[in-house]
Amino acid sequence: MIKSTTKSRPVLTRKVKKTASRCLLTLLALPAGMLFLAPLLWMLSTSLKDPRFVFLYPPQLIPDPVRWDNYYKALTNMPFHLYAWNTIQITVLCLIGHLLTASLVAYGFGRLRFPGRDFLFIVLLSTMMLPTQVTLIPTFVIFRYLGWVDTFMPMIVPDWLGGVPFTVFMLRQFITTVPLDLDDAAKIEGCGYFDIYRYIILPMIKPALAMVAVFVFFWNWNDFYYPVIYINSREKWTLNLALNFMKRLDPYGWAFQYVELIMAASVVVMLPCLLVYFLAQKYFMQGIVFTGVKG
Amino acid sequence: MTQMPTSNLPNRKVRREAKASRLPLRLALDRPKRNPTRSSLSRREAIFGYLFISPWLVKLVVFTIGPMLATFVLSFTHFKLGSPIRFVGLDNFARMLTADPSFWDALKVTVTYAAFAVPGGLVLALLAALLMNQNLFLVKVWRTIYYLPAVVSGVAVSLLWIWIFHPEFGLINTALCFVGIEGPGWLVDPDWALPALILMSFWAIGNAMVINLAGLQSVPTELYESASIDGANSWQKFWRITLPMLSPMLFFNLVMGVINTFQYFTNAFVMTQGGPGRATLFYNLYLFMTAFRYYKFSYAAALAWVMFLIILLITLTIFKSSPYWVYYEATRQQRKKR
């Protein structure tokens, strides 16, 4: 009898203490979480507001007449379907080229032995940290000479030439984890190096390819630097260029009266990224972790 | 685990070679055997090797090494598209250092941003990761929310923050008004424009946070347990176990933070165009304007190389300092084995 009463009290307080500390920590996480979410919610709220209620103090948190037609107005006032198509073209072509060539190069570095391989790999790694500005101007001159300024080529071609050193590095690390026995078995069956690449390596590194695909999509969808340098004509604008034009030149100028339209357009441009994030969250996270842990 | 070809197991000779070549052991073990070109099989493998990496080799020569050298040469010239190149020696650099206040402003802006945004971001990402590593309710939801801002980027985010920083009706000044503080002009105030951008950078610490979180979760729990047995309190555990085990991630985040600061462009271009005045004239933006707005290609080339040297210096300093504070468990184990 005495045993049971002395045992029950410590267990109860430990459990209560644990839950209490859990609650406390969760409460700690709450304000920061609100801070992270608030801008996005604010953007959503503004995008659905009636223009008369946008510039108000105190602000109208939940839009009262919910204006779904803001989205329609925002997307039709400039040919956004054209800009979306441009952006999609660039992104898809870059994706295909990047996945193909980066895996080819990674296979070369990861599996095949040739003199100078390690030296070249170290060169590859060091170009990872090279700032783009050092190669920018002559590259621009080259593209100008080729007549590729004001086309999509300057943004697509580099992705077909082995992609980005980081993705090659990532794929190469994955390829080195594929067991060599599979290679040997294939060689016995009479496969050449390219067949091994196509039928063995590629299927085995699908997760890594998914990670690379997510990165490339994000990088190209959100790219602003290269389009602003290379694209001049309006029909060839990407979504980011179009968004930049929506606000005209100065941030709070006359175009800013239509901030609800600007927010609506921004939401639409952000949506694919959010979609890809939620669908491919696993690969996303794995990719980010890979950069930090192996990088 | 890396699969090693059986004939290349580390014997003393290979290890000596590896040490002499200063390559990590793993890379050294993959080196071709002596006289690789003797066998036609090796030769075939080598040819295919070069073939497979040829896209990257082309890019290396045409788009990396070539342009780097060209930028270097260009910085000593006076080049205008269409007219012949004139060699002017150190003129560009002299002008940069003496007669160009924008250059010094750009440097000041970029370095100030780096000085505040990078360490601040590191600390916040660390704190966020520590919090996300705890046993919270709905921890997966919190992790998603904390990471979400880093998912969206580009001009859409810049536009959003222009609106948030609106001096009268933006989110921040409205919130400040609620507590009775009159908010500053943010993007239109020369003293507050850069702090605004620094604040904005703290919103997107999700990437660094995830990396830190992965690092935190990879710390072996035995370390914490044995520390508890030895009587360590939470602070000691953090300082002596967590931080050292996390130092590679912090190192990585630091280097990437510095490199990214010099690449800062979109926000400065979209939100302020370098203004008001030159308060947010980031170096990359200044370079862009010099090259593509004023068409002063050779001066821009000079700017590019100065930037490259600065980044190189900073990165080398960070690397050189790393043995003093970065703790790599893997290398320690390797050293123990020998």
CA distance B161 to B172: 10
Asked if B74 lies within 8 A of A138 by C-beta distance, the reply is yes
The predicted pLDDT at position B336 comes to 47
Domain contains A268: no
DSSP string, A25-80: HHHHHHHHHHHHHHHHHHHHHHHTS-GGGTS-SS--SS-SS--THHHHHHHHTTTH
The predicted pLDDT at position B23 comes to 64
Whether complex ipTM tops 0.90: no
Asked if A292 lies within 8 A of B134 by C-beta distance, the reply is no
Domain contains A240: yes
Asked if A288 lies within 8 A of B211 by C-beta distance, the reply is yes
Q: Are residues B104 and B252 in the same domain?
A: yes
Q: Are residues B170 and B236 in the same domain?
A: yes
B231: left (phi over 0), alpha (psi -120 to 50) or beta: left
Q: Which burial class, exposed, middle or buried, applies to B182 when counting CB atoms under 10 A from its CB (0-12, 13-18, 19+)? A: exposed
CATH code for position A128: 1.10.3720.10
Interface list for A 70-109 with B (CB within 8 A): 101, 104-105, 107-109
Q: Which residues of B are less than 8 Å from A108 in CB distance?
A: 48-53
Which of B47, B171, B215 minimises the CB distance to A39? B171
Asked if B156 lies within 8 A of A269 by C-beta distance, the reply is yes
Q: Are residues B139 and B26 in the same domain?
A: no
Q: Which residues of B are less than 8 Å from A101 in CB distance?
A: 55-56
Distance from CA of B129 to the nearest CA of A (A): 11
Q: Is the sign of the CA dihedral A144, A147, A151, A156 positive or negative?
A: negative
The predicted pLDDT at position A187 comes to 85
Q: Which residues of B are less than 8 Å from A58 in CB distance?
A: 174, 178
CATH code for position B217: 1.10.3720.10
- Whether A206 contacts chain B with CB within 8 A: no
Domain contains B69: no
Q: Are residues B48 and B121 in the same domain?
A: no
Hey, what long-range contacts does B28-35 have (CB within 8 A, 24 or more apart)?
B28/A118, B29/B4, B30/A113, B30/A117, B30/A118, B30/B4, B30/B5, B31/A113, B31/A117, B31/A118, B32/A113, B32/A114, B32/A115, B33/B7, B33/B8
Closest C-alpha to B48, from A114, A106, A178: A114
Q: Write out pLDDT tens, residues B43-57.
A: 888 888 999 999 999
CA distance A73 to B334: 63
Q: Are residues B112 and B14 in the same domain?
A: no
**Two tokens, residue B30:** 């993959």
- Whether B333 contacts chain A with CB within 8 A: no
Which domain range does residue A177 map to?
Answer: 78-246
The predicted pLDDT at position B338 comes to 40
Q: Are residues B262 and B331 in the same domain?
A: yes
The predicted pLDDT at position A140 comes to 93
CA distance A271 to A222: 12
CA distances from A35 to A42, B83, B142, B203, B271 (A): 11, 54, 12, 8, 21
3-state secondary structure chain B: CCCCCHHHCCCHHHHHHHHHHCCCHHHHHCCCCCCHHHCHHHHHHHHHHHHHCHHHHHHHHHHHHHHHHHHHHHCCEECCCCCCCEECCCHHHHHHHHCCHHHHHHHHHHHHHHHHHHHHHHHHHHHHHHHHCCCCCCHHHHHHHHHHHHHCCCHHHHHHHHHHCCCCCCHHHHHHHHCCCCCCCHHHCCCCHHHHHHHHHHHHCHHHHHHHHHHHHCCCHHHHHHHHHCCCCHHHHHHHHHHHHHHHHHHHHHHHHHHHHHCCCHHHHHHHCCCCCCCCCCHHHHHHHHHHCCCCHHHHHHHHHHHHHHHHHHHHHHHHHHHHHCCCHHHHHHHHHC
Closest C-alpha to A225, from A235, A215, A238, A214: A238
Q: Residue B92 corresponds to which amino acid?
A: N
Q: Are B167 and B173 in contact (CB under 8 A)?
A: yes
Interface list for B 88-117 with A (CB within 8 A): none
Over chain B (338 residues), the average pLDDT of each successive run of 10 is 51 69 64 61 87 93 93 87 78 88 93 94 91 82 86 90 89 88 87 93 88 86 88 84 86 87 91 87 94 90 93 90 77 45
Domain contains A283: no
Domain contains A278: no
A vs B: CB pairs below 8 A: 310
**Two tokens, residue A219:** 């990088």
Domain contains B59: no
Task: Count how many Cα atoms sit within 13 Å of the Cα of residue B245 in the half-sphere of its side chain.
Answer: 18
Q: Are residues B136 and B248 in the same domain?
A: yes
* Helix, strand, coil percent content, chain A, rounded in steps of 5: 75, 0, 25
For residue A168, the tally of other CB atoms under 10 A from its CB is 31
In chain A, how many domains are there?
1
Give the list of residues 6+ apart from residue B74 with CB closer than 8 angstroms, or none.
Answer: A137, A138, B85, B297, B298, B301
- Whether B25 contacts chain A with CB within 8 A: no
Q: Which residues of A are less than 8 Å from B256 in CB distance?
A: 295
Q: Are residues B135 and B19 in the same domain?
A: no
The predicted pLDDT at position A24 comes to 83
DSSP assignment, residue A237?
-
Q: Write out pLDDT tens, residues B164-205.
A: 998 888 889 988 888 888 888 888 889 999 999 999 999 988
Distance from CA of A1 to the nearest CA of B (A): 33
The predicted pLDDT at position A138 comes to 92
Q: Are A160 and B55 in contact (CB under 8 A)?
A: yes
Domain contains A275: no
How many distinct helices (H) and strands (E) make up chain A?
Answer: 15, 0
Interface list for B 150-179 with A (CB within 8 A): 151-157, 159-164, 166-169, 171, 174, 177-178
Which domain range does residue B40 map to?
Answer: 10-52
Domain contains B71: no
In chain B, how many domains are there?
2
Domain contains B73: no
Query: What is the full per-residue pLDDT of chain A (295 aa) written as tens digits?
Result: 445 555 555 666 888 888 888 888 888 888 888 889 999 999 999 898 888 888 887 888 888 888 888 888 888 888 999 999 999 999 999 999 999 999 999 999 988 888 889 999 999 988 988 888 999 999 999 999 999 999 999 999 999 998 889 899 989 988 888 888 888 888 888 888 888 888 888 888 888 899 899 989 999 999 999 999 999 998 999 999 999 988 876 677 777 778 888 999 999 999 999 999 888 887 777 777 776 665 5
Domain contains A164: yes
